[in-house]
C-alpha cells in the first residue's frame, strides 16, 4: 500500500515539474521576442513628427514684358531657284557646295562651250563679211548720187544703188544680232549667282546634261531668314510691325528678331494667322527649323516668386504660406509669365504673404516647420 501511494505521488510530482518547466519556457519566449515590448512602452503615445527647417520669401512686384507665345517655322526670306539658260549642254565644272556664301555674279558652274564658241566665231565672220558688203554698197551709192547730180546717172540707176545700200545695211544688222545672240549664249555657259546669299541646295553634277527648267542650285537671298509664327486670330490684332520677338531655338539659344509684316488673311482650317519676323544672322537657327518664341507686346507689373517656392502636384501649382510661427498651409495658385528663376503668380498670392521658398517640395498641408534664423524675409 505504501508503495502504490508513493508511486502515485511520484507521478504527480513529475507532471507538475514538466508543466512548470513548460511555463518557464513560454514566458521566456514571450519576453525574448524581438517585437516584444514592455506593457508601459506599448501604451506610450507616438513621438511627434520632427519639424522641417525651411526658408521664407516675400512676393516681389517687378516690371516685366507682356509676352504672346507662338510657334512657327524658320524659313528663307526669299529662295532663288537657279538653273541653266541653255539646254542640252554638258556641265564641266561645279564650283560651289551647299552652305557656301556667294556674291552676286559669282560663277557657280561651267557648261561646255566648244560648240557655242564655234557658233560665235561663225557669227563674227559673217558680220565681218556683211560689214565689207555694206561698205561697198555705201561707196557705190555715194558715187551714184554724185554722178547723178552731174547728169551721168539716171534717177532709176541711183535708186538701185540706194536700195542696194539699204539691203546691205539690213543684212549687216541681222548679222550683228546673230553675233550678239551667240555672244549671249557664250556668256550663259557660266551659271552665275543672281544675288548675294547662301547656297541651300545643289543638284548640279559634272557630266550631266542641262535641261530647260532644271534646278541646279537654290540660293537664300542675302542669307536672310525669317520666322513665320502662327498666332491665333483672337491675338493677331495685338501684333504690329516693328515690335520685338524673342525666338528660342531647339538648342536653347535665344535669337531676337523684329516683326516685318502681319498676314492680312487667316487660315480657315487652323484659324491662325502668320506673322513674319526678320531674324539676324545666327548659327542657332537654320531654314526648315521649328522654333518657339514670344512677342513683346509691352510691359506690365508682375507679382513674382522664386521658382523654388512653387510645387507642382497632380497637374496643379501650389505654394505654402506660413501661418503663425510654425505651421504652413497649402495654397493653390495660377502662374503666367516667367523670367529667369522667377515666375508670375496671378491668383492665390497676396503682397506681403510669407511663403516657403526652400524645402516646399517636402511639405504637406498643416505641417509643423521651423524657420531658419537666417532665412526670414
Over residues 57-81, the pLDDT tens digits come to: 999 999 888 888 899 999 999 999 9
Q: Does position 327 have pLDDT exceeding 70, yes or no?
A: yes
**347 close to 334: Cβ distance less than 8 angstroms:** yes
The predicted-structure confidence for 240-291, as pLDDT tens digits, reads as follows: 999 999 998 888 888 999 999 999 999 999 999 999 999 998 888 888 899 9
What would the grid cell of residue 152 be? 551721168
- Residues 245, 258: Cα–Cα separation, whole Å: 6
Q: Domain 80-218: which CATH class?
A: mainly beta
What CATH number does the domain located at 68-77+224-298 have?
A: 2.40.30.170
Matching CATH number, 52-63+301-375, of 2.40.420.20, 3.90.45.10, 3.20.20.100, 3.40.50.300: 2.40.420.20
Buried b (16+ CB within 10 A) or exposed e, 60-93: eeeebbebbebebebbbbeeeebbbebeebebee
The pLDDT of residue 28: 47
Residue 90 pLDDT level (bands cut at 50, 70, 90): very high
What is the CA 15 to chain-centroid distance, rounded?
A: 94
What would the grid cell of residue 311 be? 510645387
Domain positions in the chain are: 2-40, 52-63+301-375, 68-77+224-298, 80-218
DSSP state of 43: T
The pLDDT of residue 358: 86
Q: Do domains 68-77+224-298 and 80-218 have the same CATH topology?
A: no
The pLDDT of residue 232: 93
Amino acid at each position: 500500500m505504501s508503495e502504490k501511494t508513493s508511486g502515485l505521488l511520484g507521478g504527480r510530482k513529475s507532471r507538475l515539474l514538466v508543466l512548470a518547466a513548460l511555463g518557464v519556457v513560454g514566458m521566456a519566449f514571450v519576453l525574448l521576442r524581438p517585437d516584444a515590448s514592455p506593457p508601459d512602452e506599448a501604451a506610450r503615445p507616438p513621438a511627434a513628427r520632427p519639424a522641417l527647417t525651411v526658408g521664407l520669401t516675400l512676393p516681389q512686384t517687378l516690371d516685366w514684358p507682356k509676352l504672346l507665345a507662338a510657334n512657327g517655322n524658320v524659313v528663307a526670306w526669299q529662295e532663288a531657284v537657279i538653273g541653266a539658260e541653255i539646254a542640252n549642254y554638258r556641265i564641266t565644272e561645279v564650283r560651289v557646295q551647299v552652305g557656301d556664301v556667294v556674291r552676286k555674279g559669282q560663277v557657280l558652274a561651267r557648261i561646255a562651250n566648244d560648240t557655242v564658241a564655234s557658233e560665235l566665231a561663225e557669227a563674227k565672220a559673217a558680220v565681218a563679211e556683211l560689214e565689207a558688203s555694206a561698205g561697198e554698197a555705201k561707196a557705190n551709192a555715194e558715187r551714184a548720187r554724185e554722178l547723178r547730180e552731174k547728169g551721168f546717172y539716171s534717177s532709176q540707176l541711183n535708186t538701185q544703188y540706194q536700195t542696194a545700200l539699204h539691203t546691205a545695211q539690213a543684212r549687216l544688222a541681222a548679222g550683228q544680232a546673230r553675233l550678239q545672240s551667240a555672244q549671249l549664249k557664250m556668256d550663259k555657259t557660266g551659271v552665275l549667282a543672281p544675288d548675294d546669299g547662301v547656297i541651300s541646295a545643289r543638284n548640279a553634277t559634272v557630266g550631266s546634261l542641262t535641261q530647260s527648267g532644271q534646278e541646279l542650285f537654290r540660293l537664300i537671298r542675302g542669307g536672310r531668314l525669317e520666322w513665320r509664327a502662327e498666332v491665333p486670330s483672337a491675338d493677331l490684332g495685338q501684333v504690329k510691325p516693328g515690335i520685338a520677338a524673342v525666338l528660342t531655338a531647339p538648342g536653347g539659344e535665344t535669337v531676337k528678331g523684329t516683326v516685318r509684316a502681319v498676314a492680312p488673311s487667316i487660315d480657315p482650317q487652323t484659324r491662325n494667322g502668320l506673322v513674319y519676323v526678320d531674324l539676324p544672322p545666327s548659327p542657332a537657327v537654320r531654314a526648315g527649323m521649328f522654333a518657339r518664341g514670344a512677342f513683346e507686346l509691352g510691359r506690365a507689373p508682375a507679382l513674382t516668386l522664386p521658382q523654388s517656392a512653387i510645387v507642382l502636384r497632380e497637374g496643379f501649382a501650389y505654394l505654402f504660406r506660413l501661418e503663425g510661427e510654425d505651421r504652413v498651409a497649402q495654397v493653390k495658385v495660377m502662374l503666367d509669365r516667367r523670367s529667369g528663376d522667377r515666375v508670375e503668380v496671378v491668383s492665390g498670392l497676396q503682397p506681403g504673404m510669407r511663403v516657403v521658398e526652400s524645402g516646399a517640395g517636402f511639405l504637406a498641408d498643416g505641417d509643423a516647420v521651423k524657420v531658419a534664423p537666417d532665412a526670414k524675409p
